[in-house]
Each structure stands twice: as C-alpha cells, then as structure tokens.
C-alpha cells in the first residue's frame, strides 16, 4: 500500500513528517512526502492572532487531503483548529513529548535572571501574558518564523531571550540551547503531540495509521481541546490548558487572560479519563462564569 503524506516545508515539519514516514515504512508501507506551502508560512511579519490564527498552518494541506492528492497530513497538534473541515478527522494522536515551553537566552540562565527592560521574543499571546505576570518589567516583541530563524535573531542580538516549545527544540536536536524549562507556564493546547489528519471515509489509511495513536496522549488532548473549543477555539485570546493523568485521574489546569494580564483566571479540575470531554467542558464553563465570558467579549469587540 502506498501512502502520501502532506507536510509543510520547515525543518521541524519535515522532521515530524519523516518521523511518521519511517514508522509507516517499518510496517511495510511505501510512503512519499508532498511538500505544501501554507498561508502561515508566507506571512511572517504579523502576529497570528491578527491574521486568522492557527488554521493558517493547515488550510492548504487540508484542501490537498480533500482533493485526494495526499492520504494523510502530519501536523503539530497545537496548530490544528478545534473545528475540522467536513469530511476530515484526526486518525491518530502520537505519544506526547514534553509539552512545556523553554526559555533560550545567550547570557542568562532564567527568566528571573533577565535584567529589567530585557527584550523577550514571542508572538504567542499565551506566552506573553505569562511573562507579564512574572516579569512586567520586561519588553515583549513579536517573533515569528521557524526555529532556525528565531534562534538566528537571538544570536544577532535582536532579542535578549526567546521562548519556544520544548518539543520542537528537542526534535531539532537543539536541547543544549535551552536555558530554562518553564514548568510554571501553562502550555498551548495539544503542544508536544503530532496529529495525523485523514479523510473520514478512508478506511484503509485509518487502519494503516491506527498503531500510531497513543491513547493516553489522545485522552489528554481531548480534555484540552474540548476546553478550548468551549471558549471559541481562537488564538486572539490568551488561553492555555494542560492535562495529565496521575493516580488514575485525568487532571486539567487551564487559564484565560485579558491581553494585559490584569485579569488572569486559572482553574483546575479532575475526572475519570473516560470523561475527558466533560472535564474540559466543565472547566471552561467554570472560567467563563468567573469572568472569562467578559474577557472574550472584550477581546472579540462585542458589547
């Protein structure tokens, strides 16, 4: 059986696609990659929140999937919108890598060590508000582009520090660059897992990739993605969620914040793992009641 994988062209995206390709080839499948440029790859000088959000990294790939030019797409799960186009589904979610963010800086060891007024590069509203809460004296500037581009800008002295996802840094073999793992930051929904997207009616591909699904990672993703879906699923609002299983319970912590980090609403819940959707929905409803709804209305310009 021949399988065609659609992927973006960045080094990290190619690493991820080749990782899945190799696993499928070990099972005896013939696999080829089709490289696709997405809107998110073309527009690099504007924050994602201003140009349409995370769907910009998957739209063209999903269109190729629907046209049957490819059989599956490999995405970073955190880039996959809550609502998928009709006819598509997530066929597998891979075992999750470390889900947290990392600080990378040339001259300092931690966020706490950065001098007053230091410039921190990140385009993520989620990361920005968490920096503001801990170090309101730091200067935040937009930083987009692939991992290599961001690291180059740090080396050129345009930033004193940058924040990236641990998973991407590790997959690129750059762990030695990490100054600090930000375990006290709540990660992006799905950060650290790969999502394999397929056509709903493609039973052969669904069966071929089924072994790639990691059940615990899937359950954690369902809780986080349900939470975000209940909030509207956009990236114009600073939101984070992190689920884990401990002591037989699925646990979820999450937050929603205004853009200035003045109202930062954090919550926690736990449930049996088979009730992942209920856990995500319940925690979202709790934070909406506590003022999250007002934050959403303000950010989206409603009354």
Residues that are catalytic: 79
Q: 135 by DSSP, 3-state: which?
A: coil
Contact 53, 235 (CB under 8 A): yes
Q: Give the chain's radius of gyration (CA, Å).
A: 19
Residues 239 and 258: their CA atoms lie apart, in Å, by: 9
What 3 state SS string does 6-21 have? EECCCHHHHHHHHHHH
Q: 91: burial class by Cβ within 10 Å (0-12, 13-18, 19+)?
A: buried
Tokens of residue 78, six digits: 């955190």
Residues 135 and 78: their CA atoms lie apart, in Å, by: 26
Q: Give the HSE-up count for residue 285: Cα atoms under 13 Å, Cβ half-sphere.
A: 6
Q: Which helix (H) or strand (E) holds 151?
A: helix 147-155
| Residue recorded with tokens 């006290």 | 184
């Amino acid at each position: 059986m021949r399988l065609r994988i659609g992927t973006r062209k960045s080094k990290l995206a190619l690493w991820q696609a080749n990782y899945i390709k190799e696993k499928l080839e070990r099972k005896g499948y013939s696999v080829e990659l089709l490289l696709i440029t997405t809107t998110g790859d073309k527009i690099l000088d504007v924050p994602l929140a201003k140009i349409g959000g995370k769907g910009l990294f998957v739209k063209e790939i999903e269109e190729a999937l629907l046209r049957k030019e490819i059989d599956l797409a490999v995405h970073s799960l955190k880039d996959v919108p809550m609502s998928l186009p009709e006819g598509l589904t997530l066929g597998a979610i891979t075992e999750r890598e470390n889900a947290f963010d990392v600080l990378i800086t040339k001259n300092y060891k931690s966020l706490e060590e950065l001098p007053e007024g230091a410039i921190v590069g990140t385009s993520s509203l989620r990361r920005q508000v968490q920096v503001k809460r801990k170090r309101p004296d730091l200067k935040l500037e937009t930083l987009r582009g692939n991992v290599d581009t961001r690291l180059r800008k740090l080396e050129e002295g345009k930033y004193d520090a940058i924040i990236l996802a641990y998973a991407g840094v590790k997959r690129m073999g750059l762990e030695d660059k990490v100054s600090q793992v930000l375990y006290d930051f709540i990660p992006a929904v799905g950060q650290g897992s790969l999502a394999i997207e397929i056509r709903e009616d493609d039973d052969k591909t669904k069966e071929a990739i089924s072994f790639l699904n990691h059940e615990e990672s899937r359950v954690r993703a369902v809780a986080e993605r349900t939470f975000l879906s209940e909030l509207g699923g956009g990236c114009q609002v600073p939101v984070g969620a992190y689920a884990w299983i401990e002591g037989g319970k699925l646990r979820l912590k999450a937050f929603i914040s205004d853009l200035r980090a003045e109202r930062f609403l954090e919550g926690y819940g736990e449930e049996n793992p088979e009730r992942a959707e209920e856990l995500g929905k319940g925690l979202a409803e709790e934070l909406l009641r506590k003022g999250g709804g007002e934050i959403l209305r303000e950010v989206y310009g409603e009354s």
